[in-house]
């Protein structure tokens, strides 16, 4: 059979490009670095979004929408923030046929414009905590674009909150990291992630502390998959946000912001995909089960249609493939490429015997199932496939990650995967040395899995890798 | 009691501004004409969006995402289209710190960039029909902005399809008009709408035929609530979209595009709102039932909490208001302002008697209900409130709409509401005369409710009104 994709072992970046194109996930837009998200990938995004949105709402945030265009002067109000984003801005200078008096930037993130609203919305301690989230597009000019991973425009959610105390803001930033982000990544995307603290060098422009979820891709490179920031009172000062506390005193709130984006699609591709294409985690697969009429024959299409209906009835996203004018082999290649978790192949003989072959994409194997009761059993099958993908991804990550004792060993190990070493050994100086080599500290974690309150305390490890 | 809003009868535009501000629906953004959609209004939008999205998917379209930024040259490819949008464009001239070789416009609509993709995606008759939809923000520079109704940036969905025949495109444009748009407006928003054909003068820039749903607001002015266009082969020519048909011949597809936006929030406010505030249709109310602890007392908060839990269990969006530190009166004013359809008021005596007063916002009345079984009965109550709002809105529209016989009578009638008159009487000449007076033809309909294939055939009426 002709090979559809460049094998991962031969050239991973080329494999990625191939699968993004051939599984019809995305393509480049005409303006540099922009991206068209095609229906199959957008379907994954919609499911991912639904799960993450539910978790964000469960954490008490409500959705809202803030303007795309931000006066240039707003960005300048927070010094580190503008410095972080200036090189990446897209600027509107003409509106309605006229040169604008003040240029407007297309939001690269919305801290500034949202805090301008919060300054109006917050006046009393009764208004706190205030938690808003928005789903939106943002633009950060990208010179070396890569579909889903680094694009000039991407889709994301950004949450912004204000709290009465620093402690509460800290706890909420971590709640989002764990119960919204890590939960979505592990429970919906079947991707194991490290949760940890960013170093001073890697933290968000304008934040006091940044936290992130980091995944390890199949090629041993890391990907930052979601970040949650404690902003301290930086933006409260820049936008003059104050409230009157219980004692009638004027106070400034403590804030957080947090975001996750269409990058998660890139992660899903690079953590689970294999040489035959995507392998989709069932919870975000637009089609979970395809029922394929292998060969036409008496009652086969009817039987397949009935099975699809039964599956839909059971709440399974099922689809019929009765395109018998195309060869079975070609159709199978295509379904594997698109990563549909379960494929039921139905031919005349299967109907007779009452047994059907069920191909499980995550395992790369076929198992016989009794046709009777298959629809009822399917949710269990899909759960097992989710668990199998998570198991494989965790095993691979563990294999690609090694504890090391020196900066030299860390540099060496990152040719293969990730290295873990004591932050006390690495430090800011070691971090600089690794960076010169294209290796970065992805996050700081503690061996006892507690959160890192003080990077310089004992027991803190750096997770070090090359990264996307 | 101090009056919260300017009464509608005194100054309708002022009433609108008041309710948008005081019900915390939206506020102006810092860049001219932009809008912040606050959580309460965004919650309505999310529910509206869910219903419309389900209907769009049921019509066979799949969601995708196309870039925000479009090369300026793309817009020029279709002559009427660029002429229609040029005065409204926001233009990015600087990206990543450098002047761009070709300026990029922020999409005012996506026909051009989507058709550039369709040209790549369509090659065979097997690729047709191709139906994509996107939820996105668009920017059209607005000199006289009005929140939700006319803003420089707004949220919408835009669908784009390609079909093998003109007839199929025609039928699909009408399917969306009826089964996606009119259905959402009537079944979810409780707003009766006229579906009709736009005149040559009013049609979309680049379309061959435009269709629209038009609503009548409480002040007698019309609002265009959704449009569906037959694009003919205009964009297929401009973007060179071709396919090979069953006989191996090269053909161009016939296309449609269709959109509905955050304007629908403005319509919902202006069709149902009264002097006390919003009146939300239950299906899009973020909170459908508020259970209000009128006065604290033994077991009251517990009873109210239990009722809220029972309501949630029944699939009702219920919320507890136990803020007994604020007066009952003030809280009631606030819930009425926000338009929550049903308010259950619970005090110590109600618990004893087992009967509770239930305030129905659509009717402006309170009815006693047995506490036992109230949760189970609530979905029925909400359905009845939806029907009541639709009934009232239909009655008001009928009262505000009159058949007339001359252009002069039409002009006269539009001071009160809408006029209907034969298109044969009005014609393009009459249309121009009315326009000079600020009155426009909203759409053309047929008395027998068939679609208007030929505006100049007999039995075609023009619906004429002042419009937002």
Q: What is the pLDDT of residues A256-280, one digit of tens each?
A: 999 999 999 999 999 999 999 999 9
Q: What is the pLDDT of residues B202-235, one digit of tens each?
A: 999 889 999 999 999 999 999 999 999 999 999 9
Q: What is the pLDDT of residues B315-365, one digit of tens each?
A: 999 999 999 999 999 999 999 999 999 999 999 888 889 999 999 999 999
Q: What is the number of H-type helices and E-type strands within chain B?
A: 15, 23
What the block records as the tokens of B142 is 């607005």
Adjacent-strand bridge partners of A105: A70, A91
CB environment A214-231: b (16+ within 10 A), e (fewer):
bbbbbbbbbbbbbbbbbb
Quick one: pLDDT at residue B74?
95
Average pLDDT over residues B127-153: 97
Quick one: pLDDT at residue B297?
85
Q: How confident is the model at residue A296 (pLDDT cuts 50, 70, 90)?
A: confident
Go through chain B and tell me how many residues it has: 468
Average pLDDT over residues B239-267: 98
Half-sphere exposure of A385 (CA within 13 A, CB side): 31
Residue A1 has pLDDT above 80, yes or no: no
Residues 83-142 in A contacting B (C-alpha not used; CB under 8 Å): 86-97, 103-104, 106, 113, 116-117, 120, 132, 136-137, 139, 141-142
Kindly report whether the global pTM for this prediction surpasses the value 0.90.
Answer: yes
Q: What is the pLDDT of residues A48-106, one digit of tens each?
A: 999 999 999 999 999 999 999 999 999 999 888 888 898 899 999 999 999 999 999 99
A340 touches B: beta carbon within 8 Å: no
State the Cα–Cα distance between residues B289 and A60, nearest whole angstrom: 19
Contacts of A116 in chain B (CB under 8 A): 30
Q: Give the chain B residue whose CA is nearest to the CA of A110.
A: B36
Phi, psi torsion values for A79, nearest 5 degrees: -60, -50
State the Cα–Cα distance between residues A322 and A300, nearest whole angstrom: 9
Closest CA relative to residue B371, chosen from B342, B346, B340, B348: B346
Average pLDDT over residues B84-93: 93
Q: Give the chain A residue whose CA is nearest to the CA of B66.
A: A36
Q: What is the mean pLDDT of chain A?
A: 96
> Given an 8 Å threshold on Cβ–Cβ distance, is B69 in contact with A141?
no
Residue B1 has pLDDT above 60, yes or no: no
Average pLDDT over residues A202-230: 97
For the sheet containing A153-163, what is the strand order? A62-63, A130-139, A153-163, A254-261, A222-232, A209-216, A194-197, A440-446, A460-465, A418-422, A401-403
Quick one: pLDDT at residue B163?
98
Size of interface A-B (CB pairs under 8 A): 167
Which of A103, A120, A155 lies at the smallest CB-CB distance from B65? Answer: A155
Q: How confident is the model at residue A2 (pLDDT cuts 50, 70, 90)?
A: low
B66 touches A: beta carbon within 8 Å: yes
Residues 137-166 in A contacting B (C-alpha not used; CB under 8 Å): 137, 139, 141-143, 152-153, 155
The share of chain A scoring above pLDDT 90, in percent, equals 92
Q: What is the pLDDT of residues A171-213, one digit of tens each?
A: 999 999 999 999 999 999 999 999 999 999 999 988 999 999 9
Assess contact for B437 and B413: CB atoms under 8 A.
no
Q: What is the pLDDT of residues B410-467, one digit of tens each?
A: 999 999 999 999 999 999 999 999 999 999 999 999 988 889 999 988 899 999 999 9
Is the complex ipTM higher than 0.90? yes
Average pLDDT over residues B290-308: 93
Q: Distance from A194 to chain B by nearest Cα, in Å?
A: 30
> Given an 8 Å threshold on Cβ–Cβ distance, is B69 in contact with A143?
no
Q: Distance from A223 to chain B by nearest Cα, in Å?
A: 23
What the block records as the tokens of B313 is 């269990």
DSSP secondary structure, A207-235, as one string = -SEEEEEEEE-TTS-EEEEEEEEEEETHH
Question: Does an H or E element contain B26, and which?
Answer: strand B26-28
Contacts of A31 in chain B (CB under 8 A): 67, 69-71, 104
Tell me how crowded residue B10 is: count the other CB atoms within 10 A of its CB: 10
Quick one: pLDDT at residue B261?
98
State the Cα–Cα distance between residues B136 and A36, nearest whole angstrom: 13
Quick one: pLDDT at residue B2?
62
Residue B14 has pLDDT above 70, yes or no: yes
State the Cα–Cα distance between residues A110 and A257, nearest whole angstrom: 9
């Amino acid at each position: 059979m002709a090979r559809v994709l460049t094998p991962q072992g031969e050239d991973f970046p080329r494999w990625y490009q191939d699968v993004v194109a051939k599984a019809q996930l995305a393509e480049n837009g005409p303006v540099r670095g922009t991206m068209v998200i095609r229906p199959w990938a957008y379907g994954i995004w919609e499911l991912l979004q639904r799960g993450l949105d539910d978790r964000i709402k469960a954490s008490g945030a409500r959705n809202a929408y803030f303007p795309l265009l931000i006066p240039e002067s707003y960005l300048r109000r927070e010094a580190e923030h503008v410095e972080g984003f200036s090189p990446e801005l897209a600027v509107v200078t003409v509106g309605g046929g006229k040169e604008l008096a003040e240029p407007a930037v297309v939001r690269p993130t919305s801290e500034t414009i949202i805090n301008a609203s919060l300054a109006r919305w917050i006046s009393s301690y009764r208004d706190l905590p205030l938690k808003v989230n928005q789903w939106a597009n943002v633009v950060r000019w990208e010179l070396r674009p890569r579909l889903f991973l680094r694009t000039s425009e991407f889709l994301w959610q950004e949450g912004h909150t204000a709290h009465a105390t620093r402690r509460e803001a800290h706890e909420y930033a971590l709640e989002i990291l764990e119960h919204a982000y890590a939960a979505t990544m592990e429970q919906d995307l079947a991707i194991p992630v490290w949760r940890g603290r960013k170093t001073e060098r890697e933290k968000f422009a304008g934040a006091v502390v940044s936290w992130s979820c980091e995944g390890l891709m199949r090629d041993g490179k890391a990907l930052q998959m979601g970040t949650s920031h404690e902003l301290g009172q930086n933006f409260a000062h820049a936008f003059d946000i104050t409230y009157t506390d219980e004692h009638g005193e004027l106070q400034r709130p403590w804030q957080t912001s947090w975001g996750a984006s269409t990058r998660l699609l890139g992660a899903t591709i690079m953590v689970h995909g294999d040489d035959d294409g995507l392998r989709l985690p069932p919870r975000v697969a637009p089609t979970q089960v395809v029922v394929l009429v292998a060969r036409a024959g008496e009652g086969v299409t009817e039987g397949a249609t009935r099975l699809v209906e039964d599956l839909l009835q059971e709440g399974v996203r099922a689809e019929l493939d009765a395109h018998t004018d195309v060869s079975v082999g070609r159709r199978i290649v295509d379904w594997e490429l698109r990563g549909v978790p379960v494929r039921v192949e139905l031919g005349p003989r299967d109907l007779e015997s009452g047994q059907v072959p069920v191909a499980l994409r995550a395992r790369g194997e076929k198992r016989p199932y009794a046709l009777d009761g298959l629809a009822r059993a399917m949710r269990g099958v899909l759960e097992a496939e989710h668990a199998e993908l998570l198991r494989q991804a965790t095993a691979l990550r563990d294999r690609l990650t090694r504890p090391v004792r020196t900066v030299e060993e860390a540099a060496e190990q990152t040719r293969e995967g990730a290295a873990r070493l004591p932050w006390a050994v690495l430090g800011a100086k070691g971090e600089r040395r690794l960076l010169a080599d294209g290796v970065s500290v992805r996050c700081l974690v503690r061996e006892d899995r507690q959160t890192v309150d003080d990077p310089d305390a004992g027991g803190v490890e750096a997770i070090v890798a090359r990264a996307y």
